[in-house]
Structure 1
């Protein structure tokens, strides 16, 4: 029966992929309906804390966008990229990684992708090179962001084992960042040169390729202030999480747990932005960030619920099969995370579904932390919003999805970056712990 149940899971994901956008969340719900009413499985857990954290962070970012904060950040990113255009393949992932690290969501990369594509075209560089690693970096950075739902859950799971919040960040931030930068060096050699690409030459001949040049955006009066408020909220989250941690222990039995603290700080930051920057709150729900963030919540609701329903129903079998294997080859946990995140479509949902079981099987904290970056394999199925945006924004045709779906330019950078992150995670983790 499990084969038929797995077929339902895969069919729901494929259908959602074909419909596109938020529909993958809809079809996830349809899959849960079939698994429960037809196969009699118990509904899995809905990752409500993950969804609520994403909603809170997106609400703050959307307020910052109305105040002009995102435009200001993109303006800074564009200046960095245009000052060093020949190094766009190295600078692009650096920019998207840092923006995701600070914001806790990879959707901030949307604003920088057009700039990356334009700068690459102006220099005659194949846009797929910087775009692919930029998207991958924005996904992997989730596993290093102090305010991402994935990191918060991972920290909570590891604290009983003596690994604190700051220790987790101290391992994940340098290892994932270095891995992305090393992968960027590889990306400089992927694919034929732009001038030799027949697809590009054909589109160029048809007049389908344009150069827009440097954008002249107007920075609103409250832009810098909104960014400062948002960054202050991130610092507050890190400080508060440190103060309530078991290792520091300055606040015993905190009234406000860490997950709720993130939501409160983010919503408070949004309130301050509304008050101090005097923004039109009616525009918040119409921003691109708000729409994409809430769409992501629907996708996570459906797909993560579907995946957890299937995994929870067979968790004992999974434990029986994987327990011995993981004890003999701990690195295989990264492989499990990799393929599970393809189905669950969320770093946080994947961590929530598998990390507790892995720790119960006796997996060491070092193995869990080193493998953590592998929950970022959202690039395998070419349906993630930032991935699709990169494809749409590259009018040269170099960033294209192949006929066989999986042969797209994000696959090699993604696999290499995750592999390097895991390898560096074991190295640094054994040194730190």
Structure 2
């Protein structure tokens, strides 16, 4: 029954991709329904551990946004980009990477994309260059963020294999940062120059291209404080996770495990922001980051549950077919994760669905760590929210999706960045792990 059930999985994922957004999670639930009641497959584990982390982190981020912290961070980013506009293609991905690293969600890129597009236009730089690599950086940074659900889950399954949370970050952060920088340098030469782009010239002649200039920013009273509180929470998470790690052993038999600690710290940060910055907690429910985060929870719920249900039902067959292949060609894991994430549309969901199975198949921990960045191929199909936002915010028309769907400006920088991240991951993993 493997083939019919696999068809159900792909049909559900296809339907979810057509619906987009939270609909991916709905379709995952439908897939579980068909597999369990239609094929009598035992349901897999619901990924509550991943969902609880996303919810807690998003609560803190949304509280910071309501307090004005997100606008404050964007103002700092705009100041940096306008101070060095000629290096926009190199600095834009650095900004989105660091914001995602800090926030644990790539949706923070939404607020910086308009700034990137405007600064590029002002300098006569083709906006598709900085916009494309900035979106890619915001996606790959998820696999290096100390508080992202994907990283926390990955650390949890690697801990018994002798790789601690801190060791995972020690490989993931430098590997992805170096990859993004090199990809940005190459991206700076992709596509025609803006002045030579026929679409841009046509829009310019029609008066459809506008320049808004720099924004005047007035910080809310608690904006800086909210950012500092979130930063303190992230530092606390890293320090606590290090202290309870078996490789460090400062705290033996901790009462509070790592996942629960992240939830507690982030909820505490959200409470402190509400209390000290004097914001109305009811406004958090309407924050854009809160809405996108809760949508991500539903997506992970449906898709990761569907993946776990199918994999556990056929783990024996998968081991027989894929075990020796992955043993002989470990880099194949990165390829599998790459294509899986294009369909699952979530780093956390892809990690949850496939990484435990990969380790069960005998994939080495070093290979798993090195391949981790490949779960970020959310750019292949041009339907991811931040990708679409970049297209919409570029009124020059340089960031456009071609007639053949896959010929869009995100594909080459994204693929290059992931290939380099995996290569650097193997290099650093071999040295550090």
The TM tier, using the shorter chain, reads over 0.9
Indicate how the Cα distance of structure 1 residues 268 and 44 shifts in structure 2: closer, same or farther if over 3 A, else same.
same
Counterparts of 1:46 and 1:417 in 2: how far apart (Å)?
Answer: 31
- 1:212-231 equivalences under 5 Å are 212-231=212-231
Alpha-carbon distance in structure 2 between the residues aligned to 1:338 and 1:356: 16
**CA distance in structure 1 between the aligned counterparts of 2:245 and 2:311, rounded to whole angstroms:** 31
Give, in whole Å, the separation in 2 of the partners of 1:426 and 1:362: 17
Mark the CA change 1:397 to 1:40 in structure 2 (over 3 Å): closer, same or farther. Answer: farther
Aligned with 2:368: secondary structure? helix
Structure 1 Cα separation of the partners of residues 319 and 331 of structure 2: 16
Task: Report the counterpart of residue 352 of structure 2 in structure 1.
Answer: 352
Segments of 5+ residues of structure 2 without an aligned counterpart are: none
Q: Specify whether residues 11 and 199 from structure 1 end up closer, same or farther in structure 2 by C-alpha distance, changes over 3 A only.
A: farther
**Distance in 1 between the 2:406 and 2:35 partners?**
27
Distance 1:89 1:379 in 2: 18
Residue correspondence of structure 1 range 10-49 to structure 2 within 5 A: 10-49=10-49
Deviation larger for 372-381 or 258-267:
372-381
**Aligned twin of 2:315:** 315
1:398 positional shift: 1.7
SS across alignment from 2:39: coil
**Cα distance in structure 1, aligned partners of 2:225 and 2:366:** 40
- Report deviation, 1:39: 3.2
Which residue number corresponds to residue 69 of structure 1? 69
CA distance in 1 between counterparts of 2:349 and 2:202 reads: 42
Q: CA offset at residue 79 of structure 1? A: 0.5
Contact preservation (8 Å) 2:13, 2:344: no
Matched residue, 2:191: 191
**Greater CA drift, 210-219 or 63-72:** 210-219
Query: What is the rounded CA distance, in whole Å, between the counterparts of 1:269 and 1:40 in structure 2?
Result: 44
- Displacement of 1:46: 2.2
**How much has 1:353 moved relative to structure 2?**
2.1
Change (3 A) 1:398 1:366: same
Is the 8 Å Cα contact of residues 14 and 343 (structure 2) preserved in structure 1?
Answer: no
Distance 1:380 1:7 in 2: 21
Contact 1:133/1:410 (<8 A) preserved = yes
Cα offset for 1:129? 0.9
Q: Does 1:147 align with 2:152?
A: no
Determine if contact 2:300/2:348 at 8 Å carries over to the other structure. Answer: no
- In the alignment, is the contact (CA less than 8 A) between 1:132 and 1:409 conserved in 2? yes
Are positions 1:244 and 2:236 aligned together? Answer: no
- 1:234 to partner: Cα distance: 0.2
Q: Deviations over 1:45-81 (max 9, x none)?
A: 2221111111111110111011110111100011011
Q: TM-score, normalised by structure 1?
A: 0.96
Q: Distance in 2 between matches of 1:353 and 1:31?
A: 14
More moved, 302-311 vs 86-95: 302-311
1:210 aligned partner: 210
Q: 1:383 to 1:316 in 2, by over 3 A?
A: farther
Indicate the SS of the match to 1:278.
coil
Query: Matched residue pairs, number?
Result: 433
Q: How does 1:259-274 map to 2 (within 5 A)?
A: 259-274=259-274
**What SS does the corresponding residue of 1:351 show, helix, strand or coil?**
helix
Q: CA deviation at 1:119?
A: 0.8
User: Structure 1 residue 228: deviation in Å?
Assistant: 0.5
Give, in angstroms, the shift of residue 227 of structure 1: 0.5
Cα distance in structure 1, aligned partners of 2:309 and 2:403: 31
Distance 1:314 1:402, change over 3 A: farther
Name 1:324's counterpart in structure 2: 324
